[in-house]
C-alpha cells in the first residue's frame, strides 16, 4: 500500500505533464477534482455536455 506522500509525489509529477497545471493549481485542486479529470479520460466516448448542463455550469461559475 502506498502512503499519501507517495501518491502526492506521483500526482505532482503527472499533473503538470498531462494537464499543464502549475504547482499552485495542483495543490489547490481537491482529490475529487483530480479523480474526475482522470476518470473522464478513461472513457473512450464520453457524452458531450448538453446545452442545459453547460448553462448550469456557466451560471454556477458566474458568481466567482
d(CA 46, CA 11): 23
CB contact at 8 A, 28 and 34: no
Domain locations along the chain? 4-61
Residue ranges with strand state E in 1-64 = none
Residue 19 pLDDT: 83
For residue 15, count other CB atoms closer than 10 A to its CB: 20
11-56 pLDDT, tens digit per residue, is 778 888 888 888 888 888 888 888 888 777 666 666 778 899 888 8
Distance between CA atoms of residues 9 and 3, nearest Å: 10
Amino acid at each position: 500500500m502506498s502512503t499519501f506522500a507517495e501518491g502526492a509525489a506521483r500526482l505532482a509529477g503527472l499533473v503538470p505533464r498531462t494537464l499543464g497545471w502549475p504547482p499552485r493549481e495542483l495543490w489547490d485542486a481537491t482529490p475529487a477534482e483530480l479523480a474526475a479529470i482522470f476518470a473522464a479520460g478513461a472513457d473512450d466516448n464520453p457524452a458531450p455536455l448538453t446545452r442545459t448542463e453547460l448553462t448550469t455550469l456557466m451560471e454556477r461559475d458566474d458568481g466567482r
